[in-house]
Amino acid sequence: MKKITLTFILLITMGHSYGHEDKFLVEELASFDQPWSMAFLPDGNFLVTEKPGKMFLMNQAGETLYEITGVPEVAYGGQGGLGDVAIHPDFNENKTVYVSFAEEGENDTRGAVVIKATLNLSEEGGALTNLEYIWRQVPKVTGRGHYAHRMAFSEDGYLFISSGDRQKFDPAQDMTSSMGKIIRLNDDGSIPADNPFYNDGGVAAEVWSLGHRNPLGIDFDADGKLWNIEMGPRGGDELNLVLKGEDYGYPTVSNGIHYNGSNIPNHDTRPEFEEPKEWWGDGYSIPVISPSSFVIYQGDLFDDWQGNGFISGLSSESLIRVQFDGDSAKEIERFDMGRRIRSVEEGPDGALWLLEDYPRRQDTSKGRLLRLTPHSH
Ligand SMILES: [Ca+2]
């Protein structure tokens, strides 16, 4: 295990303090080709996905045990490819995992899908078997952006899937499309009868909330409340408390503006839409985050951080700590990581694990796996 110390960068900008050397140790354990997500199994080993389509089983020392076979072919390109992994709450009994990825359609279209599969592991290797396609983002559309397709299980056993707007805007308000929504399913992929639009049938039945843009991170807090971090338009990244049946307003409202410079009315102009609990930027200035994933910390290794949210940032090259107070949330600390961060997860012992995005400005497609622990550990 190679312990590294990243260069300490002291910057005071917009009221945020940068740097992390005094807060945690950073260990570099492995590197991957365009890593996208990781998920811990009950025994402490974990899966890592690479966007081009590979999945690996790792151990706590950061060693690659083997590649997982049986991963379907993915529509790799742009923001799409192999995506997230979620572990069934009863994995020890049923060995079930859920995997999201982009899938090709007809006529240059594609869309996100979620499969349910059995993860068969042995000393020699691992494979996904018994694949069932339990959800498809509809309709399939052109382009290769804003799939989102992050997943989280609620404590009462429902599978939530974040579904991006695929850069098509209006479908986020269209209940015949699953784009720009957060989806709620039973663990077998069927639709719960207490979903808010269940009686409308069709795609609407699977929708839990709507009006989302590119919700790249979802997680539950200790009280069972669902939060999502959403990549906004220019200067409109937002953190939402996700409530059953509510509309978060995209593309009708956003605190950001369109990338072409045209205005989007702010949330305070349309109180019928749910407004974010925290948001970043005003359409013109930093700080933005470009959020890529979200985890709410439940551990006690970092004892001051229990219950805090952590956002991984792409263009901000940062890890952001968020403090909750009831239904409100606010950024209270930002750590400069010096690289685009694609994913943050909490390990079984309370360490924070990061996956770097591939550093586009450097001549490599490798993103590192980092483990963060307190100095006193
Ligand atoms: Ca605006």
Burial degree of 178 (CB within 10 A; 0-12, 13-18, 19+): buried
Distance 258 CA to ligand 1 centre (A): 8
Are 28 and 18 within 8 A, CB to CB? no
Output the pLDDT for position 360.
61
Whole-Å CA distances, 226 to 77, 151, 182, 207, 209: 30, 12, 10, 14, 11
Distance 135 CA to ligand 1 centre (A): 32
Q: Is 2-373 a domain of CATH 2.120.10.30?
A: yes
Helix (H) or strand (E) holding 92: helix 91-94
**Prediction pTM value:** 0.93
DSSP state at residue 81: S
Are 219 and 233 within 8 A, CB to CB? no
The two most distant CA atoms of the chain are separated, in Å, by 59
Output the pLDDT for position 8.
34
Distance 280 CA to ligand 1 centre (A): 12
Distance 174 CA to ligand 1 centre (A): 21
Output the pLDDT for position 361.
59
Whether residue 146 lies in the annotated active site: yes
Output the pLDDT for position 54.
98
- 4-13 pLDDT tens trace: 433 333 333 3
Token pair of 24 as six digits: 């945690």
List of residues 6+ apart from 150 with CB closer than 8 A: 37, 83, 84, 100, 161, 162, 215, 216, 217, 218, 293
Distance linking the first and last C-alpha atoms of the chain: 16
Report the C-alpha gap between 148 and 67 in whole angstroms.
24
Report the C-alpha gap between 76 and 96 in whole angstroms.
24
**Cα atoms in the Cβ-side hemisphere of radius 13 Å centred on 334:** 24
Instruction: Using alpha carbons only, give the angle 65, 69, 72 rounded to the nearest 5 degrees.
Output: 140
The amino acid occupying position 69 is: T
Domain boundaries, the chain: 2-373
Token pair of 287 as six digits: 């700080």
Q: Among 20, 88, 146, 212, which one carries the catalytic annotation?
A: 146
3-state secondary structure of 23: coil
Distance 290 CA to ligand 1 centre (A): 16
Output the pLDDT for position 11.
34
Tell me whether strands 126-136 and 64-69 are parallel, antiparallel or unpaired: parallel
- 20-37 pLDDT tens trace: 778 899 999 999 999 999
Distance 262 CA to ligand 1 centre (A): 9
Are 48 and 354 within 8 A, CB to CB? no
List of residues 6+ apart from 354 with CB closer than 8 A: 312, 319, 337, 341, 343, 344, 369, 370, 371, 372
Low pLDDT (below 50) residues in the chain: 1-18
Instruction: State how far Cα 104 lies from the chain centre.
Output: 21
Distance 235 CA to ligand 1 centre (A): 8
